[in-house]
Amino acid sequence: MRRVAATVALLAALVAAAPSRADVVVHIDKSGQRMTVRVDGVTAYQWAISTGRAGYNTPNGTFRPQRLARKWYSRKYHWSPMPYSVFFHGGYAIHGSYEIGRLGRPASHGCIRLHPSHAARLFALVQQHGMGDTRIVITGSLPRSHYAGPRVKPKRVAAPRRRQL
């Protein structure tokens, strides 16, 4: 009986000492404009994203999802569709975007955009594992190529000469 109690106490101590981690970790790399999704410590997905463009910040930090919305429209930006939204910090969300040609470079007003089918997969994962077991980690900064480079003066085109009579 003592052995069983000692074993149970040891297991309880090990579980308590083990670092807790979320079942789903969504890592946003603003520098590379990539999202990596890990489920139970194993990389499940890597997708191109768009974060905030110059003048529109996507906040860095570690967040938990605050609410989910399968269909959402931005009240602030002309009722733009935001399918499969995972809101994580006030009005900031990870959501699908139909402007898939812009994925891979900063283009948003601060949200994190991804392909609608990828947003649907992420949305389902968060629903399945729960918002409490999901972490969103945002790091990096705008890629250097996105900042305005040196200004180049436009070439002046000479006006056509008039014919003299």
Tens of pLDDT, residue by residue over 7-53, are 555 555 555 555 555 599 999 999 999 999 999 999 999 999 999 99
What are residue 57's phi and psi, to 5 degrees? Answer: -85, 140
Q: Which of 108, 156, 100, 131 has the alpha carbon at shortest distance from 26? A: 131
* Residue 124 or 13, more confident: 124
Q: How confident is the model at residue 97 (pLDDT cuts 50, 70, 90)?
A: very high
Six token digits for residue 133: 């077991």
Q: Output the CATH code of domain 19-143.
A: 2.40.440.10
Q: Which of 21, 33, 20 has the alpha carbon at shortest distance from 138? A: 33
| Calpha distance 115→149 (Å, rounded) | 29
Q: Which of 5, 13, 109 has the alpha carbon at shortest distance from 57? A: 109
Q: Which pLDDT value is given to residue 43?
A: 97
Q: What pTM does this model have? A: 0.72
Single-letter amino acid code for the residue at 86? V
Please compute the mean of the pLDDT values over residues 80-91 and round it to a whole number: 88
